[in-house]
Structure 1
Amino acid sequence: MEQPNTWHRGAPPSHRLKHDSRAIVSALVLDGDEFGIADEVDELLSIWASHLAKNQLRRRYYDGENVLKDLGISIPPSLRNIETVVGWPKKAVSAMASRSRFDGFTVGDEALSAQVDQLVRRCNLKRKYKQACESELIAGCDFVTLSKGDVGEPPVIVVTHSAEDGAAKWSERLGRISSGLVIMHYDDSGAPDELALYTDEATYHVDGRDAITVARMAHRMGRPLMEALAYNPTESQPLGQSRITRAVRFITDSGVREALRTEISAEFFTSPQKYLLGVDSDPFENRTRWEAYIGNIFTVSQTEDGSTPTFGQLSQGSMQPHTDYMRALAARFSGETNVPVSQLGVIHDNPSSAEAITQANEPLIMEVTDLNEGNGESLVTIAKMALAIANDATLDTYDALQIAANFKNPLMPSIASQADAMVKIASVVPEFAATEVFWEQLGFGEDMRQKVVQQMGANANQRAILSLMGGGTQAVTQ
């Protein structure tokens, strides 16, 4: 039984995960646990449950659904329920993810290169990488699983999974995942009732939706058919760290409070407080405050002693302190995430030149470069496993295969500047202009590069044939 291509994502209540997540394991033990996987499933479910609350918290910040943390000083109780959103955590993720653009593989073997390109297209790996990269930056890692396709499906099925739906154990000795688990379905209460376990020898599909069933799918890969895309891994956190750190969340909370204070202050700013002195009674008792405020003409009679009431207006509060504080928060956020302040929706001095813009983005570009290097290694492993599955071979078969994952330039230079640099290189090395790398560096996509190279090859063949024909005609004439 192969994994389905669609996955139901639930929102399990964290206070009941510990109890509900063990339902499948208990049933496996009662059924005799014929495959001996109950302990492994139990351990991985415990790892998943222990990280779920924090992963869901990061997701809420990414979605702008974090709850207002009111200090109880400046915000009136009646206005605390106003929906206020600050999208900076999403910007911290998207600013990096948008610059990490997977662009296929370069394979040393020509025949295998065509097969890898076909697998990339049929698995929609480029689109799936974009989705996985976003989830990787939110939670710190994203899991990619592989399986053999059924009849009518692609030869290899590649599926990406958020850390909210999976867990893995890391082997420091082997430098890879030793076993992993993905939750495929949740019941109505939010408890997992269908999952897949990945080990060195097999993949197990455990279905507890009706009766407990376990299907074992053996493989010869010698490692789990599961790979992790990890952002900024360390020795203590080999499966990566989230971009939505505690500092990011704290600054975002301050930004949400300030955004709400600014909104409230703006209301008072547009409706300044006025006063009327020297009146015997309220002259506007028959009008609402709003009618009194928007009225074009109103009259107030003199008092009994003949004095004239005095009308005045209190000075308006300035909005500048709010603007300055929000700018300060944006600068702190930029320092934590390397996202330029100008991208955070705050008025800021714009860079005056292309060099200044590049310099402002340089720290972020360096982070994206590191991200691409780490993800590139994982993608190469995924490509080799996909080849092994498609060709019914072992992973060792492709150990010596020269393969590299390609990413577009994270600097995202303009076509004019990139073309200028490539033309200068080609003027020194003319043969470079005839390579696919030349067109790749110009910013052309994979499909366009292939068309260009094919057309250039066809034109070269045509010129060679015409040359031969011309030479033959000349020989006959002589």
Structure 2
Amino acid sequence: MEYGLPYLKKKLAQKSLRVSMRYQYYEMKNHINDFSSMIPSDFRWLAYSLGWCAKAVDSIADRIVFDGFDNDDFQIGSIFNLNNPDILPDSSVLSSLISSCSFIYIGRGDDGYPFMQVIDGGNATGTIDTTNNLLTEGYAVLERDDHKKPTLEAYFRPFQTDYYVNGKLDESLTLVHSAPYPLLVPIINRPDARRPFGRSRISRTCMDVTQAVLRTFRRMDVSAEFYSFPQKYVLGLSDKAIKGFDKPKATISSFLAFGNDEDGNKPTMGQFQQQSMTPYVEELKAFASVFAGETNLTIDDLGFSTANPQNYDAIRASHEQLRLAARKSQRTFGVGFINAGYLAACVRDDVTYDRRAFANTKPVWAPIFEPDAAALGALGDAILKINQAVPDFVGSKAVHRMTGLESDND
């Protein structure tokens, strides 16, 4: 069943605002939602930024490194190698972690060879077949003008892609191909039955905590004024002395002199208790603990030093939940990369392949945590013992996946 282009445009308009908001948090361009009436107006113009959301995304994105395909009977790895293999997978992974889903757009170049391009979740959408995570139809904005108005759009269907220039169908650009699915492949982060297009790494909790921390920064700035220059008071000044009193000079002065009045009375001077910054620091640590728990990071990752682990095992143990989250994301990203290679192979060979023919093709990933020298020694002993018990059980491919090392004999 096809819903049509108007439906997909409306769907993209609804989703693009959420994607744009998460990109603002990732790029640290979000505004402070300040609801306090106690902040002086002179301080409301102050802008702050916080990189915790970017840290939450990059901590996984930097560890998920696509390393090709195994059992690649249809040579789809060669298609990726000719389409910026150092940029395409990393860009799609990063965009998926931010917006929950990115898309790989497949086209056919002038030489007839397929090309691939990453489109973020704010510029593409579609209806998905949850049995294989391929779209049944799709829509993407490929180009926009300086005012963000779409100038080149594409409507993706099985065996055909229609292009719209300035809102009008351009039949000269229509691409007829052999792929049985639309040439727009979703790369999804952590999909489930309720959210087939996945979930963003920047959750609502991450955004709420970020807002709370930014408001704390603003309150710290206000309090810092009183911390730097403690408030002083004078009792018993005459009206004449009050009129000539220089408040700015008295604020920064370390010595104030007052004489007796005509009746021989002298004023009483004092100082309010100095403002402390300690409560704000403790509040920031509390927010950091909440954010770390939400994103599987540690307090050290967010800038609060505790006991920095020095070896591979300690680092891996402190980030065990992060490793599990990265491994989960690898599984869903791998399905997307195989789907993209499958459709690109259909375009390249001009053959309508069955998706089941690619069932044995597996994505290969670099190790999430690269072992240090001590860990390599322990791993080498373990591999030796395993191969002694079961000859040739662990080969060069398995060693490469565990360590990231490549053999000179390959």
Q: TM-score, normalised by structure 2?
A: 0.87
Residue 189 of structure 1, CA deviation: 4.5
Give the secondary-structure state (helix, strand or coil) at the position aligned to 1:86: coil
1:218 corresponding residue in structure 2: 176
Amino acid at match of 1:119: I
| Corresponding position: 1:386 with 2:344 | yes
| Corresponding position: 1:366 with 2:324 | yes
State which of 38, 41, 48 in structure 2 corresponds to 1:77.
41
Q: 1:336 to 1:438 in 2, by over 3 A?
A: closer
Q: 1:232 to 1:442 in 2, by over 3 A?
A: closer
| Corresponding position: 1:240 with 2:204 | no
Work out whether residues 134 and 339 of structure 2, in 8 Å CA contact, stay in contact via their aligned partners in 1.
no
Residue 232 of structure 1, CA deviation: 1.2
State which of 11, 14, 19 in structure 2 corresponds to 1:47.
11
Report sequence identity in percent: 24
2:87 corresponding residue in structure 1: 127
1:262-309 per-residue CA deviation (whole Å, 9 max, x = no partner) reads: 1221222111112234443548947561x4444466643333333454
1:98 corresponding residue in structure 2: 62
Deviates more, 1:417-426 or 1:88-97: 417-426
For residues 261 and 201 of structure 1, the distance between their equivalents in structure 2, rounded to whole angstroms, comes to 59
1:126-180 per-residue CA deviation (whole Å, 9 max, x = no partner) reads: 32221221211111100012122223x9x32110100111111112456421111
Q: 1:426 to 1:120 in 2, by over 3 A?
A: farther
2:98 corresponding residue in structure 1: 138
For residues 350 and 285 of structure 1, the distance between their equivalents in structure 2, rounded to whole angstroms, comes to 57
1:441 corresponding residue in structure 2: 402
1:81-118 per-residue CA deviation (whole Å, 9 max, x = no partner) reads: 21022222222211221221112222355xx6xx5454
1:148 corresponding residue in structure 2: 108
Give the secondary-structure state (helix, strand or coil) at the position aligned to 1:453: coil
Work out whether residues 277 and 311 of structure 1, in 8 Å CA contact, stay in contact via their aligned partners in 2.
yes
Q: 1:107 to 1:187 in 2, by over 3 A?
A: same
State which of 20, 32, 40 in structure 2 corresponds to 1:56.
20
| Corresponding position: 1:89 with 2:53 | yes
Give the secondary-structure state (helix, strand or coil) at the position aligned to 1:163: coil
Amino acid at match of 2:107: S
Q: 1:354 to 1:316 in 2, by over 3 A?
A: farther
Amino acid at match of 1:73: S
Q: 1:442 to 1:415 in 2, by over 3 A?
A: farther
How many residues align structurally?
404
Q: 1:223 to 1:419 in 2, by over 3 A?
A: farther
For residues 75 and 287 of structure 1, the distance between their equivalents in structure 2, rounded to whole angstroms, comes to 25
State which of 315, 318, 323 in structure 1 corresponds to 2:273.
315
For residues 418 and 328 of structure 1, the distance between their equivalents in structure 2, rounded to whole angstroms, comes to 37
Give the secondary-structure state (helix, strand or coil) at the position aligned to 1:358: helix
Give the secondary-structure state (helix, strand or coil) at the position aligned to 1:317: coil
1:296-334 per-residue CA deviation (whole Å, 9 max, x = no partner) reads: 666433333334544432211221111111111122222
| Corresponding position: 1:343 with 2:297 | no
For residues 287 and 105 of structure 1, the distance between their equivalents in structure 2, rounded to whole angstroms, comes to 76
Give the secondary-structure state (helix, strand or coil) at the position aligned to 2:115: strand
Q: Which has the larger radius of gyration?
A: 1
2:409 corresponding residue in structure 1: 453
For residues 136 and 122 of structure 1, the distance between their equivalents in structure 2, rounded to whole angstroms, comes to 22
Q: Where in structure 2 are the equivalents of 1:122-201 lying within 5 Å? A: 122-151=82-111, 155-172=113-130, 175-187=133-145, 189-201=147-159
Work out whether residues 262 and 319 of structure 1, in 8 Å CA contact, stay in contact via their aligned partners in 2.
yes
For residues 439 and 292 of structure 1, the distance between their equivalents in structure 2, rounded to whole angstroms, comes to 70
For residues 441 and 203 of structure 1, the distance between their equivalents in structure 2, rounded to whole angstroms, comes to 41
Which consecutive residues of structure 1, in runs of 5 or more, have no partner in the other structure? Answer: 1-36, 455-478
Work out whether residues 92 and 243 of structure 1, in 8 Å CA contact, stay in contact via their aligned partners in 2.
yes
For residues 326 and 145 of structure 1, the distance between their equivalents in structure 2, rounded to whole angstroms, comes to 42
Deviates more, 1:173-182 or 1:317-326: 173-182
For residues 137 and 295 of structure 1, the distance between their equivalents in structure 2, rounded to whole angstroms, comes to 53
Q: 1:433 to 1:371 in 2, by over 3 A?
A: closer
1:44-101 per-residue CA deviation (whole Å, 9 max, x = no partner) reads: 1111112122222222222222222222233222211210222222222112212211
RMSD in angstroms over aligned alpha carbons? 2.9
State which of 218, 235, 243 in structure 2 corresponds to 1:260.
218
Q: 1:434 to 1:240 in 2, by over 3 A?
A: closer
Residue 367 of structure 1, CA deviation: 0.8
Q: 1:419 to 1:407 in 2, by over 3 A?
A: farther
Structure with higher helix content: 1
For residues 246 and 434 of structure 1, the distance between their equivalents in structure 2, rounded to whole angstroms, comes to 44
